[in-house]
Amino acid sequence: MITTKQIDSYIAKIPPSPKVLKETLTLLNQGDLVKAAKTGKEDRALNAYLKELVNKPIYGFRNEVNDISQIFGILGVSKSQQTTYNYMISLLSPTKWKLFKLNKSSFYDLQAQLSANWHKITAHLNINDKDVQSAISLLPASIIVSEALFCEKLEDVKLLRSVDEIDLNTILQRLCKMDLFDICQRIAQRWEMPESTAAIIQASSGVKSSNDETINTLGKWMHLLLFYTLSQPTFIEAQLNDFIDFQIDYVSDIYDDFSQLMEIK
């Protein structure tokens, strides 16, 4: 059994610890892109990360984008904030993944794909709230925390997986009384994100729907996006596809809309 204390200690490693980063985020929160870029410039790793991320094909820029102020300018406030969160998360990703067969590059891909498509979705739903857009970055974050928690009990996890076909999310719950989405909620609290963000994430579990219609709709889209992304060979092989249980009935009413938006033929 992993205690809440242990979990909190992992999550404690997720603060916007470097001062520069904290300031950049605060400035982004205030919507001041110019100042944020100026501050952000001081963190070289952030610059390198942003460059690598936005030049991935999913962002679809024709020419290579180099400068942080240029990047923030292109991305706009909400996407810049989301991307900076993604960077913070990447700082925590383990150098060697033990349970999930991921690496630095495939993890960045996961972040990039979730972020870019989530942006497409929120635009489609006419939602222009930067907190809603940042919500998606919580999922990769909690995957890192889960990996760390599983590694504590790697043998137990492997044993449980070999005797019975249970999904990792259930094992996570049995191990530490928290599932992937609860971990997301903890991280959201840590990052002082509004409660509604955590609610969207909980709704995206597909089993804890919200009474708030907007949150519920967002939860459905996020659940489907998660499986759309996790159905790619890289993430199937990384064992992420069967991390959580797909709630097909929960998303059936938005599927046609989703497949049109993602151009699924």
Partner 1 sequence: MRAVIKDSIGVFHPQGFLDGASSASLLSIEDIEQTVKSNASMILVSLKKVIFFNRNGLDTFVKMFQKVRIANHITVGFCDYDKKKYNAIKKFYNDDVNFSLFKTQKIASLFSASFKEKNQNILLFSDDKSQRAALAIELHDNGHNPIVAQTQKEFLQKAEVKDAYDIIIEDTFLGQMGQQVATRVTGNAIIYTLSSFLDAEIGNTFNIAYHNNSLNVGFRLFIFDVYKVVSMNIHALNFFSKLASSAAEYNATLCFIGMSFDKTPILFKETLEDSGMMFFNQMDDILQNKELLDELGASSAVSGKNKRAINKVLVTELPNFIDATVTTIEMMTNSKAVKDAAKVNKIEITDQSDKIASSIGFYGDIDGMIMLVFPLGIAKKACELLIGESTEDKELILDTLAELVNIVGGKVKTLLADEHISVNITLPRTYQDMNGLLEVAEGKKGVQVDLSFDNDKFLFFLTR
Q: Any idea how long the chain is?
A: 265
Residues 6+ apart with CB under 8 A from 172: 146, 149, 150, 178, 179, 180
Q: Closest by alpha carbon to 229, among 217, 244, 216, 240? A: 240
Burial of 91 (0-12, 13-18, 19+ CB in 10 A): middle
Q: Which is nearer to partner 1, 79 or 223 (CB)?
A: 223
x-or-dash pattern for partner 1, window 236-255, by CB under 8 A?
Answer: xx---xx--xx-x--xx--x
Alpha-carbon distance of 60 to 50, in angstroms, equals 14
Dihedral angle of Cα 218, 221, 223, 225, to the nearest 10 degrees: -130
Of 30, 128, 259, 260, which one interacts with partner 1 (CB under 8 A)?
A: 259
| Contacting partner 1 within 147-186 (CB under 8 A) | 165
Match 């985020």 to its residue by tokens: 25
Q: Which is nearer to partner 1, 43 or 179 (CB)?
A: 179
Q: Quote the least distance from Cβ 235 to partner 1, whole Å.
A: 9
Alpha-carbon distance of 58 to 152, in angstroms, equals 34
Q: Which is nearer to partner 1, 61 or 255 (CB)?
A: 255
Q: Quote the least distance from Cβ 121 to partner 1, whole Å.
A: 16
Please give the size of the binding site for partner 1, defined by CB under 8 A: 21
Q: Which stretch binds partner 1 (CB under 8 A): 5-13, 69-77, 80-88, 235-243?
A: 235-243
Residue pair 7/178 in contact by the 8 Å Cβ criterion:
yes
Of 44, 96, 213, 233, which one interacts with partner 1 (CB under 8 A)?
A: 233
Q: Which stretch binds partner 1 (CB under 8 A): 9-17, 92-100, 101-109, 228-236?
A: 228-236
Q: Which residues bind partner 1 (CB under 8 A)?
A: 165, 224, 227-228, 230-233, 236-237, 241-242, 245-246, 248, 251-252, 255, 259, 264-265
